[in-house]
């Protein structure tokens, strides 16, 4: 097939990708959008098979079959609570694919006697660097999310300096690859050094900041694909890579704004936030924390008319989304209005809480974002906080020296009664105490989220 | 030089398109957005297919096949898991 037809095919595929992403602007059109995207991908791959330089399909077929098998199994088997890990893993795979393709292209383009153009070598170096950083960074993110690596921030003396040093090494080897492309070893050393950088970048970041990291790595995998596009002079790679790159960057920005921290602060900031500007846990809690039983909470619900449920990472950990949805239906059957308040950085990934609740058949109209629900908290009878901590901590409003200062929070303290389900008074990832727990109209329900919600349901049925 | 400028033009325009679309996606769909856009980034598969198919040397073929495997996991897994999530949002409407 003539190259012009292949390029028209690529253009069609790009259009399908754009339309596919557009479908995600509403749950109604989302499924169709995803199918359009998949169709675009199929078209792009099939069109590529017509490239006249291809001599055999067997190897391609082998790779596709193996990859499809592994991908399908992972996609079908994964628990929704592990979605952030899976996205991180797939992300990483995209990165390593870019590294391998650029590496192959380097060998292919330097096998002749002519020296490749400088824009090609720059693109190859970029592809290898970004791909390697993405792959290893994603693996570390996966490890942290799965609990395989220590979840909190890990630092060692001088780690910032070391990171900077490795960064300089990466740039040096990039230049090396560009100046001396005929020596493929330089490329692979570059990949190795960039891999170290990838690990170093993600290792110091704490679990609660993972949404930002996963979104950023998502963007990197797109940029790596775009770089590979420049290597192969392939338009569909450039367009698609840029779309994904932009998508990830915007999500990252949204996350950072939601935490009121700059990206630089998240990536390179203090590895362990210090709470010594504020009060200690004892000062905040002593004698003021009231704990309740599920039966008492059920009585509260019995006389309530408006309830807002605030889910957090604890709900995901406890896999409590189904009992929570059942509790909500039970309350609604008694004429109580139930809404969910979803903070943008609740959970380990943007929209994580929404997916979990959707899995439990909660209609998406009941999931309210922060701007919509915050003004209404003063009319709420009971705010039920399940496994959320920093996103409902009033210190963000009142204490300018706190690590979460200025972060927009859910104003649950304005509700008439606040019930917090938590296993203990241990702090969230900001490491600071939460005065919400010590308020006069707050009640703590200590226990595992799933069990506590089931107990409340049982108690409600007796009321 | 022409190709490079063309490429850069496409790159920059695509970023603008991406920006326009992504900012209109509601927070409730951000997780499927991440997995969906991730699946699309598996477009590297196209480059991998070329290397695995052109088979210029044994090494490039191996690199190509490995890349095909990883990119296909990314693509197939990504679209399937996105579909699984989006189906959950569709049930009730």
If you average pLDDT over every residue of chain B, what do you get? 88
The 10s digit of each residue's pLDDT in A159-179 is: 788 888 888 888 888 888 888
Residue from the list B34, B40, B93 with its beta carbon closest to the beta carbon of A251: B34
CA distance B5 to chain A (A): 11
Contact A240 B88 (CB under 8 A): no
Beta pairing partners, A382? A307, A417
Looking at beta carbons, which residues of chain A come within 8 Å of B2? none
Active site residues of A: 390
Q: pLDDT confidence of B93, banded at 50, 70, 90?
A: very low
**Coil, strand, or helix at residue A365?**
helix
Contact B41 A94 (CB under 8 A): yes
Residue from the list A60, A246, A367 with its beta carbon closest to the beta carbon of B68: A60
Both structure tokens of B33: 């957005």
pLDDT score at A89: 94
The 10s digit of each residue's pLDDT in B50-65 is: 888 888 888 889 999 9
Residue from the list A30, A247, A344 with its beta carbon closest to the beta carbon of B18: A247
Residue from the list B11, B21, B27 with its beta carbon closest to the beta carbon of A369: B27
Contact B56 A108 (CB under 8 A): yes
Q: pTM for this one?
A: 0.85
Residue from the list A63, A236, A367 with its beta carbon closest to the beta carbon of B69: A63
pLDDT score at A153: 66
Looking at beta carbons, which residues of chain B come within 8 Å of A351? 27-34
Contact A74 B83 (CB under 8 A): no
Is the C-alpha dihedral spanning A62, A64, A69, A74 positive or negative? positive
The distance from CA A433 to its chain's CA centroid, rounded to whole angstroms, is 25
pLDDT score at B48: 92
The distance from CA A235 to its chain's CA centroid, rounded to whole angstroms, is 28
This complex has an ipTM of 0.92
pLDDT score at A102: 92
Looking at beta carbons, which residues of chain A come within 8 Å of B81? 74-75, 78, 83, 86
B11 neighbors A226 (Cβ within 8 angstroms): yes
B 13-52 residues with CB < 8 A to A: 14-15, 17-19, 21-52
CA distance A39 to chain B (A): 10
Contact A244 B18 (CB under 8 A): yes
pLDDT score at B91: 62
- Selected residue of B28, B44, B81 to mutate for chain A interface (largest A Cβ count, 10 A): B44
CA distance A253 to chain B (A): 11
Q: Which residue of A has its CA nearest to B50?
A: A54
Distances in whole angstroms, Cα of residue A202 to Cα of each of A34, A212, A304: 30, 11, 45
| Helix, strand, coil % in chain B, rounded to nearest 5 | 90, 0, 10
Please name which of A366, A327, A317, A280 lies closest in space to residue A460, comparing C-alpha atoms: A327
Residues contacting residue A313 through CB under 8 Å, at least 6 positions apart: A208, A346, A347, A348, A387, A388
Q: Alpha-carbon distance A344 to A127, whole Å? A: 32
pLDDT score at B57: 87
Contact A364 B92 (CB under 8 A): yes
A95 neighbors A221 (Cβ within 8 angstroms): yes
Residue A38, φ and ψ in degrees, nearest 5: -65, -40
Looking at beta carbons, which residues of chain A come within 8 Å of B39? 37-38, 41, 90
A383 neighbors A421 (Cβ within 8 angstroms): no
The DSSP line for B46-91 is HHHHHHHHH--SHHHHHHHHHHHHHHHIIIIIHHHHHHHHHHHHHT
A–B CB contacts, 8 A cutoff, strictly below: 375
Q: Alpha-carbon distance A316 to A386, whole Å? A: 10
Q: Which long-range contacts (CB under 8 A, 24 or more apart) does A294-299 make?
A: A294/A445, A294/A452, A294/A455, A294/A456, A294/A458, A294/A459, A295/A459, A295/A462, A296/A443, A297/A419, A297/A443, A297/A445, A297/A456, A297/A459, A298/A456, A298/A459, A298/A460, A298/A462, A298/A463, A299/A463
CA distance A279 to chain B (A): 34
Q: Which residue of B has its CA nearest to A13?
A: B43
Q: Alpha-carbon distance A423 to A432, whole Å? A: 16
Q: Alpha-carbon distance B65 to B49, whole Å? A: 8
Query: Between residues A152 and B27, which one has the greater pLDDT?
Result: B27
Cβ atoms within 10 A of the Cβ of A271, count? 16
Residues contacting residue A316 through CB under 8 Å, at least 6 positions apart: A81, A347, A348, A352, A353, A356, A387
Residue from the list B65, B83, B85 with its beta carbon closest to the beta carbon of A59: B65
- Selected residue of B47, B56, B57, B60 to mutate for chain A interface (largest A Cβ count, 10 A): B47
Contact B26 A119 (CB under 8 A): no
Q: For chain A, which ranges sit under pLDDT 70?
A: 1, 113, 151-155, 207, 269-279
Q: Which residue of B has its CA nearest to A127?
A: B44
Please name which of A43, A46, A64 lies closest in space to residue A54, comparing C-alpha atoms: A46
Both structure tokens of A98: 């870019």
Q: Alpha-carbon distance A239 to A222, whole Å? A: 10
Residue B10, φ and ψ in degrees, nearest 5: -60, -45
pLDDT score at A271: 44
Q: Alpha-carbon distance A101 to B68, whole Å? A: 9
Q: Alpha-carbon distance A82 to B31, whole Å? A: 12
Q: Alpha-carbon distance A411 to A409, whole Å? A: 6
């Amino acid at each position: 097939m003539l190259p012009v037809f292949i390029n028209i095919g690529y253009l069609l595929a790009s259009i399908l990708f754009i339309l596919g992403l557009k479908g995600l602007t509403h749950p109604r059109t989302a499924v169709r959008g995803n199918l359009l995207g998949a169709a675009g991908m199929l078209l792009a791959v099939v069109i590529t098979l017509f490239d006249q330089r291809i001599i055999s399909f067997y190897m391609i077929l082998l790779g596709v079959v193996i990859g499809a098998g592994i991908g399908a199994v992972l996609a079908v088997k994964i628990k929704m609570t592990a979605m952030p890990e899976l996205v991180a893993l797939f992300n990483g795979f995209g990165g390593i694919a870019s590294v391998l393709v650029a590496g192959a292209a380097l060998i292919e383009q330097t096998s002749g006697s002519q020296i490749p153009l400088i824009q090609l070598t720059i693109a190859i170096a970029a592809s290898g660097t970004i791909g390697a950083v993405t792959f290893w960074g994603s693996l570390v993110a996966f490890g942290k999310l799965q609990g395989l690596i220590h979840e909190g921030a890990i630092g060692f003396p001088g780690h910032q300096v070391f990171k900077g040093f490795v960064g300089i090494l990466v740039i040096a080897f990039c230049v090396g690859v560009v100046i001396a492309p005929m020596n493929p070893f330089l490329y692979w050393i570059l990949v190795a050094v960039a891999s170290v950088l990838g690990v170093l970048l993600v290792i110091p970041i704490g679990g609660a900041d993972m949404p930002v990291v996963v979104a950023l790595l998502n963007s990197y995998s797109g940029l790596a694909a775009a770089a590979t596009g420049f290597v192969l002079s392939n338009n569909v790679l450039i367009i698609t890579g840029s779309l994904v790159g932009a998508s990830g960057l915007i999500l990252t920005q949204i996350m950072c704004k939601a935490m009121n921290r700059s990206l630089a602060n998240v990536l390179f900031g203090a590895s362990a936030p210090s709470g010594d500007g504020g009060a200690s846990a004892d000062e905040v809690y002593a004698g003021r924390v009231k704990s309740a039983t599920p039966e008492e909470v059920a009585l509260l619900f019995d006389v309530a008319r408006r309830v807002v449920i605030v889910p957090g990472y604890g709900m995901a950990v406890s896999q409590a989304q189904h009992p929570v949805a059942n509790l909500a239906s039970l309350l609604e059957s008694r004429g109580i209005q139930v809404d969910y308040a979803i903070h943008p950085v609740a959970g380990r990934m943007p929209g994580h809480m929404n997916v979990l609740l959707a899995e439990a058949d909660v209609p998406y109209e009941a999931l309210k974002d922060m701007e919509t629900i915050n003004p209404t908290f003063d009319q709420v009878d009971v705010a039920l906080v399940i496994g959320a901590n920093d996103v409902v901590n009033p210190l963000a409003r009142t204490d300018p020296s706190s690590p979460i200062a200025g972060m927009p929070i859910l104003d649950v303290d304005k509700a008439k009664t606040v019930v917090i389900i938590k296993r203990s008074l241990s702090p969230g990832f900001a490491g600071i105490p939460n005065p919400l727990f010590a308020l006069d109209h707050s009640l703590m329900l200590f226990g595992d989220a799933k069990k506590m919600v089931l107990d409340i349901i049982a108690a409600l049925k007796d009321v | 030089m022409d190709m490079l400028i063309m490429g850069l033009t496409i790159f920059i325009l695509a970023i603008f398109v991406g920006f326009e679309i992504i900012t209109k996606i509601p927070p409730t769909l951000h997780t499927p957005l991440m997995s969906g856009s991730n699946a699309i980034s598996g477009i590297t598969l196209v480059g991998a297919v070329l290397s695995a198919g052109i088979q210029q040397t044994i090494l490039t073929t191996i690199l190509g096949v490995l890349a095909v495997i990883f990119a296909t996991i990314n693509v197939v897994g990504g679209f399937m898991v996105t579909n699984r999530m989006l189906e959950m949002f569709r049930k009730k409407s």
